[in-house]
């Protein structure tokens, strides 16, 4: 299923455009099913799940990767933006998970992979709503894992990527629902997409309960939040101030303290 936010679906060719890989070269048209899915339309999730089951007969893996980030200060942001963030990033995700999990419980096996964020571990300016939604996902799926101890072959995997080269900044929430970000800035300093994908696949293949997928300094900050939160608060105050300055200057919020690529 292609989880989107009221956008038209792409063609099979666009979604599956990739280099030749021997393991998938034998796939036929019947091995591919693309469904349009609006995560905010929770009433459609059961039908979408049933369509997948009708086509394939089973669901082995659910990857929750739908959502939008945020670039706005809390004092400038309308509350309906926060409602939309929670509806899309959190409630839409757990709604779809509920329908798929019912099937996995019947089979007593499966993987539920949720793309959270390092923002689900730490706090940062310009993303108060986004951080809240990712913290909610972390809490939900860590708790859900404890409810599934009778099903050891159902894996709950939380992935926490840091800044990655993608189109996520082009589609962020801002201070109101009708406004787009004026400038996305240079994204080249962020982790290459192919490296993030590789680390994601390694994490899923090894059933890691949680994986932090990030370049420095975000990775170090994750460890500080985990083991030395007082130092993390001090550091994020310094980094956060620069992040806001970058944002107001029209450059990418994270550019000044990301590790430079050689």
Q: Name the pLDDT band for 22 (thresholds 50, 70, 90).
A: low
- Phi first, then psi, for residue 228 (nearest 5°) are -145, 70
Least-confidence region, from 3-7, 83-87, 161-165, 208-212 = 3-7
Other C-beta atoms lying within 10 Å of the C-beta of residue 67: 24
* Beta bridge pairs of residue 164: 191
- Taking CA atoms, 117 is separated from 16, 45, 153, 228, in Å, by 25, 23, 25, 19
pLDDT tens digits along 205-262: 999 999 999 998 889 999 999 999 999 999 988 888 888 988 888 777 776 555 554 4
Gap between the Cα atoms of 102 and 104, Å rounded = 6
Q: Is the peptide bond before 217 cis (omega within 30 degrees of 0)?
A: yes
Q: Which position has the higher pLDDT, 62 or 186?
A: 62
pLDDT of the residue at 168: 87
Superfamily of domain 44-257: NAD(P)-binding Rossmann-like Domain (3.40.50.720)
| Residue 130 known to be catalytic | yes
Catalytic residue among 82, 130, 151, 218: 130
Q: How many residues does the chain have?
A: 262
Q: What's the pLDDT tens digit per position in 108-161?
A: 999 999 999 999 999 999 999 999 999 999 999 999 999 999 999 999 999 999
């Amino acid at each position: 299923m292609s989880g989107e936010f009221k956008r038209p679906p792409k063609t099979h060719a666009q979604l599956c455009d990739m280099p030749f890989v021997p393991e998938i070269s034998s796939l036929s048209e019947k091995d591919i099913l693309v469904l349009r899915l609006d995560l905010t339309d929770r009433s459609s999730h059961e039908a979408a799940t049933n369509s997948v089951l009708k086509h394939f007969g089973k669901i082995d893996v659910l990857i929750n990767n739908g959502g939008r980030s945020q670039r706005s200060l809390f004092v400038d942001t309308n509350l309906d933006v926060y409602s939309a963030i929670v509806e899309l990033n959190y409630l839409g995700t757990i709604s779809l998970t509920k329908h798929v999990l019912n099937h996995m419980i019947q089979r007593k096996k499966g993987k539920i992979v949720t793309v959270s964020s390092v923002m689900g571990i730490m706090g940062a300016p310009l993303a108060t709503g986004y951080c809240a939604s990712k913290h909610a996902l972390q809490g939900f799926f860590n708790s859900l894992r404890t409810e599934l101890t009778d099903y050891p072959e159902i894996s709950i995997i939380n992935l926490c990527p840091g800044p990655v080269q993608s189109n996520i900044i082009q589609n962020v929430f801002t201070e109101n629902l009708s406004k787009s970000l004026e400038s996305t800035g240079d994204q080249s300093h962020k982790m290459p997409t192919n490296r993030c994908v590789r680390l994601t696949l390694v994490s899923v293949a090894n059933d890691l309960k949680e994986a932090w997928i990030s370049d420095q300094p975000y990775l170090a900050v994750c460890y500080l939040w985990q083991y030395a939160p007082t130092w993390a608060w001090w550091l994020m105050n310094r980094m956060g101030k620069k992040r806001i300055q970058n944002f107001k200057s029209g450059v990418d919020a994270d550019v000044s303290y990301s590790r430079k690529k050689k």
